[in-house]
Structure 1
Amino acid sequence: MTTDTRRAEFHEAVAAHRLKTGSARSDRPLRVAGVLLMLIGVAGAFVAYNASLSQDDLRDIASSQVLATAFAAVSIAGAGLYIAAALAQVLRIWLLRQLIEGQARTDQLAEALRPVERTEAADARS
């Protein structure tokens, strides 16, 4: 079975169950915010660190380095937001696939048990 065939069957199963798959749109703002925070954090940390290199007073240098560390923390928070949103999308698709496959297995077992039930009912009447 090719990947395209499996993908088409998956889309058909999702359409047959009338499941909502549009909730991934709610993850998009988190991913964009995460990317923006990462960019702002890296750029701010770089600027603050470079500014600390041109200062002579140790208190000013320490202040700039604290600011650079804060921007690094903002960058890490942005990475966390991005990873959480991306992971939520992957887990949503995985759960949807598990639900569809579980329903298919249940249907298959129910179909396999139907002849047994009919045979047992016929034996009970005899």
Structure 2
Amino acid sequence: MSVDVQPGTRVDAFRERIAEMKLPAPAPGRDRVLARLGMLLALLGIVLGVVGYFLSYNTDNPLNQSDAQIVAMLGIACAVTGSGVFLRYSFAQFLRVWLLRLIIEQREQQEK
């Protein structure tokens, strides 16, 4: 299982070793869609927060102010949730490749 690695073929050797592990292919499309969904949810949350802020200060009726504050709080919740979803799925591919590389390096050290 030892592969001679030349400077120009390091990526090819890495891909060959991953293919030897016979791991199921991840669904990168799903991660990309969920990362975009998280980004849209975070942007929607920011917009709702700003709209709720302006609605609460453009009225003197306390009932309308309470409704606007609820809209702003929902915006904050959407922004926090969307940011978390975006971060989770945007880093998923990077961490997957990093973990595979770590496993391959550990196997190489055990072989020596």
TM-score scaled to structure 2, two decimals? Answer: 0.76
Q: 2:96: which partner in 1? A: 92
Once the two structures are TM-superposed, the CA of residue 8 in structure 1 deviates from its matched residue by 4.4
**Structure 2: gaps of 5 or more residues:** 1-5
Q: Which has the higher helix share?
A: 1
**Is the partner of 1:55 in helix, strand or coil?**
coil
Displacement of 1:40: 0.9
Q: What pairs up with 1:69-84 in 2 under 5 angstroms?
A: 69-84=73-88
User: Cα offset for 1:44?
Assistant: 1.5
Q: CA deviation at 1:68?
A: 0.6
* Separation in 2, partners of 1:47, 1:95: 42
CA distance in 1, matches of 2:30, 2:61: 47
CA distance in 2, matches of 1:9, 1:20: 19
Identity among equivalent pairs (%) = 31
Shift of 1:20: 4.1
The structure number with the bigger radius of gyration is 1
Q: Distance in 2 between matches of 1:35 and 1:64?
A: 23
SS at match of 2:69: helix
1:55 aligns with 59
Name the SS for the 2:91 alignment partner: helix
Q: Is the alpha carbon distance of 1:100 and 1:80 closer, same or farther for their aligned partners in structure 2, counting shifts above 3 Å? A: same
Q: Helix, strand or coil: the match of 1:76?
A: helix
One-letter amino acid of the structure 2 residue matched with residue 70 of structure 1: L
Letter in 2 for 1:54: N
Q: Does 2:39 correspond to 1:35? A: yes
The structure 1 residue matched to 2:109, chosen from 101, 105, 112, is: 105
CA deviation profile, 1:1-58 (whole Å, cap 9, x unmatched): 97x7644442343244444444333311210110110111111211121122211112
Report the count of equivalent residues.
107
Once superposed, what is the RMSD of the aligned Cα atoms? 2.3
